[in-house]
Amino acid sequence: MASQLRVDSIESSVGSSVGIGTTGGTVTINGSVNISGGSVANVALTPSSLSINGNAYPSAGPLSNRNLIINGAMQVAQRGTSSTGQTTTGYKAVDRFATGIANAGTWTITQSTDAPAGFSNSIKYDCTTSNASLDSTSELWITQRIEAQNLQHLNYGTADAQDCTFSFYFKTNKTGVYTVEIFQADSDRTVGFELNVTQTGWQKYSFVIPGDTAGTINNDTGIGLWCFIWMATGTSKTSGTFTNGTWAANATTNRLSSNTVNFADSTDNECFITGVQLEVGTVATPFEHRSYGQELALCQRYYKQILALQGRQNQSFFISNYGNTSAVNIIEAGLYDMRASVNTSLGPTGNTGNVQYYSYGGTWTSSTLTASTIGLYPHQQVYLYATADGDGRGKLMRRSGASDPDIYVEIDAEL
């Protein structure tokens, strides 16, 4: 049996320091150590986690630029802060978070100011038309698709595959089991976890994602990982054997827990999500806040807007000649900062781009403004054009109505 020495205190009688242990030896302390009015120097900690002032610190990776999620605090909402009557999949309200809806009710999705301490915004889901009887293919989810080349340090497919932690804040008036799923696009592999919500206030949840030694994340600009929170699903994804924390080849019936709630079953249902973080290591550290400018710049690699014309009648602008039948105006040259070749459209949704051009005979003639691109990525140019008369000259253009909305160009390279 090892010898033991139990004392209430150890003090130096002659100097300012006390040494415990020998060079190269190990001192094991079972319990806590309180240091008052002093400091600790040359301390090496070997446990799997470190906590200071109640905050966990990373068990792997850097102290900064840890969060692989963009816009996790739901600050940026370039498309608008509210999206009503939603029944289909797409990007709604806040940037970089896509919503999937299929036969699972009708939703209002907003950037909300209801948020936990330390946050200003969340994304809110509010059920406006319920579906209490889901069919086999019904689904309701939120996800962020992470660009593959940003995940190379995870070393998937090797013996050095890194464990990660996925965490977020969640608030809902519908308790029960939701499903968290991480899905690999390149290798078609999945791992899922039950998210057990037992109370209705803001709560932080975290899940350790094991490194996948059999996985693949290509070094390209495609999708590397999907980070899902599932709020409703049909039996097509729950009738098999749930992965429950272990990576497996994708089999649709095994993807989600059969205990997953039907969040679409009542128009009373609402939930809020913010503080989404994915980081290397097995500890959910404090959320890494970035400035609004940083988050906006990161979001604009995938989607951005350019205001082309404000919605005021008789506000005029000049478009140069292009051939004999169109007038054009280059508004963005060289999309080097975008993820990939872009798609363009006029916004807001439903905007017809109605304008009038001035004919040199002295009359204003109606036309329609359209956005398009020319050239190959990354040297694409975004331009506006409108059909005009064939006199071969540039045109003065204006909005055609006092109530016309602003026209902006949407430049989209989303995953």
Please indicate, yes or no, if residue 39 is contained in any of the structural domains. no
Per-residue model confidence as pLDDT tens for the chain (415 residues): 556 666 666 665 665 566 665 555 566 666 666 666 565 555 445 455 566 556 666 766 667 889 999 999 999 999 999 999 999 999 999 999 999 999 999 999 999 999 999 999 999 999 999 999 999 999 999 999 999 999 999 999 999 999 999 999 999 999 999 999 999 999 999 999 999 999 999 999 999 999 999 999 999 999 999 999 999 999 999 999 999 999 999 999 999 999 999 999 999 999 999 999 999 999 999 999 999 999 999 999 999 998 877 666 556 666 665 555 566 666 776 788 899 999 998 876 656 677 888 877 778 888 888 888 888 888 888 887 777 776 666 677 777 665 667 778 899 999 9
Bridge partners of 124, per DSSP, are 110, 272
Please indicate, yes or no, if residue 91 is contained in any of the structural domains. yes
The total of structural domains in the chain comes to 2
Please indicate, yes or no, if residue 11 is contained in any of the structural domains. no
| Statement to judge: residues 334 and 197 lie in one domain | no
Sign of the Cα pseudo-torsion (92, 97, 99, 100, in order): positive
Please indicate, yes or no, if residue 217 is contained in any of the structural domains. yes
Backbone torsion region of residue 103, taken as left when φ is above 0, otherwise alpha when ψ lies between -120 and 50, otherwise beta: left
pTM above 0.75, yes or no: yes
User: No. of H helices and E strands in the chain?
Assistant: 1, 24
Q: Is the preceding omega at residue 348 within 30 degrees of 0, hence cis?
A: yes
> What is residue 353's predicted lDDT score, i.e. its pLDDT?
73
Residue after which a domain boundary falls, among 269, 298, 327: 298
> What is residue 324's predicted lDDT score, i.e. its pLDDT?
52
Please indicate, yes or no, if residue 53 is contained in any of the structural domains. no
d(CA 284, CA 278): 9
| Statement to judge: residues 262 and 392 lie in one domain | no
| Statement to judge: residues 233 and 156 lie in one domain | yes
Q: List the CATH number of the domain containing 257.
A: 2.60.120.260
Q: 252-257 contacts: CB < 8 A, separation 24 or more?
A: 254/190, 255/181, 255/183, 255/190, 255/192, 256/179, 256/181, 256/192, 256/230, 257/177, 257/179, 257/192, 257/194
| Statement to judge: residues 92 and 217 lie in one domain | yes
Please indicate, yes or no, if residue 62 is contained in any of the structural domains. no
| Statement to judge: residues 209 and 356 lie in one domain | no
Please indicate, yes or no, if residue 35 is contained in any of the structural domains. no
Please indicate, yes or no, if residue 276 is contained in any of the structural domains. yes
| Statement to judge: residues 228 and 268 lie in one domain | yes
| Statement to judge: residues 187 and 328 lie in one domain | no
| Statement to judge: residues 197 and 251 lie in one domain | yes
> What is residue 17's predicted lDDT score, i.e. its pLDDT?
61
Please give the share of the chain, as a percent, with pLDDT higher than 70.
Answer: 76
> What is residue 328's predicted lDDT score, i.e. its pLDDT?
65
Encode pLDDT of 334-373 as tens digits: 788 899 999 998 876 656 677 888 877 778 888 888 888 8
| Statement to judge: residues 212 and 139 lie in one domain | yes
Encode pLDDT of 268-296 as tens digits: 999 999 999 999 999 999 999 999 999 99
Domain of residue 401: give its range.
303-412
